[in-house]
Structure 1
Amino acid sequence: MSGPPPAVAAVRVAVRADLARVAAETPGGLVLVACSGGADSLALAAATAFEAPAAGLRAGAVTVDHGLQEGSGAVAEAAAAACRALGLDPVVVTRVAVGRAGGPEAAARTARLAALDARAREAGAAAVLLAHTLDDQAETVLLGLARGSGTRSLAGMPALRGVLRRPLLDVPRATVRAACAQEGLVAWEDPANADRGLARARVRHDVLPLLEEALGPGVAAALARTARALRDDADALDALAEQAAGVVTDGPGGGCSAAVEDLLALPAALRRRLLRRAALAVGSPAGALSAAHVDALDALLLRWRGQGAVHLPGGAEARRSCGRLVLTRAGAPGQDAVTIS
């Protein structure tokens, strides 16, 4: 008796390994597949439906309707129907309101991840599986490189963060899409994937193919390997920054502050991490906060010439006053103070 086609087998093997880890932590638990109806997430849904029973797990799905395109509700319902046909249960469709902070891609991602986290908590799910592939990881690394966002950004997407898991990060997109076709699944193609007005689409269709042409095949895989190596480094530095976080205390204006001398005593890699964390804590959206903003904060410490406040995304600001770096939130000054911890 022959086995499944090679692409289907590759996706199932990746999912099987991830589900084994979930089952070891939460025997008999529920896993949810985040399914948009696209080829990648349908292939993940099919593999999960096949592998979950053998792992002793229950498997369902969540489809997020971002409401950004005409007919998005019908697309979401079709994706949910496909998941039910695969035997997934429960299957939930949830509509979100997408804001503007950080640009359209970042805002949609923020709304989607918040909805997935909420649905997972409501269902008591042990994990939510996302269908990001090796190529998605390579694109993320290149986007981080273009933003100059530092080690954490270049580390790409984590395979595991909280309830979210990405079992296909080592599987090429072509393999995942071939698996979808070999399973006989009819996929929806998000028009945003071809919209060169979006940075990720330009990286996907223009930048990566050009790099492959100029440098030879294997660029995406090399970028994904780089992300794994940098993630180890970033995790170690973040742990050290966590130990140093006590230098940042409550500050006026609903913000936080730290003595300039305490920050300058830290290695640059740790100091810059604390500056970024402080900016996030006073309301700067992660997707909009760039290395340039952190550079400006660092300049208040290293190149102090009496300059005025540094304005941060989200309306927050930072200034140097009386030997301290002070960050405040946007809005009225009566808001609760923030402690970085």
Structure 2
Amino acid sequence: MPEREPQRRRPSHVPVLLDRVVALLAPALDHDGAVLVDCTLGLGGHSEAVLGRCTLARVVGIDRDPHALAMARERLAPYAERFTGVHAVYDEIPDVLTELGLTSVDGVLFDLGVSSMQLDVRERGFAYAEDAPLDMRMDDSGESGGRTAADVLNTYSAADLTRILKEYGEERFARKIAHAVVREREKEPFTTSARLVELLYAEIPAPARRTGGHPAKRTFQALRMEVNDELAVLRRAIPAAIDAIGVGGRVVVESYHSLEDRLVKRAFTAATRLDVPDDLPFVPAGAEPALRLVTRGAEVADEHEIEQNPRAASVRLRAVERVTPSRGVA
């Protein structure tokens, strides 16, 4: 009898702030023909809740990870008539909508960062708890190519490694780690996570290792963000999402990194700013902001949610609603 191949551990996912996210989207989706674009479909937890509670809406789910997309399609099969899955990167919103014949939508959702889909499958190389190939590409299908985390470690200069560790990982020992990587790769290229984790334990002083979580957390986050060009993609995607919604439509974003949240905040502030002199006694017709803030600042998870779902500890939730038509839309 042939020996069975070892099965991959099936990933699980607990959506962060699920009820609040659905509550923010629901007013925009409460009409026939309403469309939500879930830009970070993952395993489909948010989309499943929306399809179950907003019965008039359909969902277009975008994900660059073909494995997650396949699992989400399986999960959302009961809603097949109201769900469309698309393999794409979320800054491609305009192209996706054009291909589907949609001129505008009623909601756009982003749940940023790495998902349980990537973390729970060892072979993807996102997690530092187990030895695995240093890949970290969210799309590992080969269609998009792209560098891996190993490529970054083995080819970037010490200066560039320092920059990404500082900027994306907020790592205090970025320069020390970068020079150690360059030194060690001359002996042997980096290929798996265990050797990198071993280096991080050696380079990060013991007192620092005892605070702030696992000492590899910041470096792995920085590598993932660099490999997938996450900030540049988000910088293009937020304006595209704002342009995509019609009047009454909402964009809802969950961020887990200060740079992501800052980028979202700036985009939302610009879109909701009243661009007239402060001493003007009235607002001229046509000068009203195109959007309004739905959340006051960034909302965070409460202690109960964090206890149930530790990933919620760093979430920042923001939402805006369109109040005037976008340019070129009647």
Normalised-by-shorter TM-score class: 0.3 to 0.5
Q: TM-score, normalised by structure 1?
A: 0.32
**Structure whose residues are more often helix by fraction:** 1
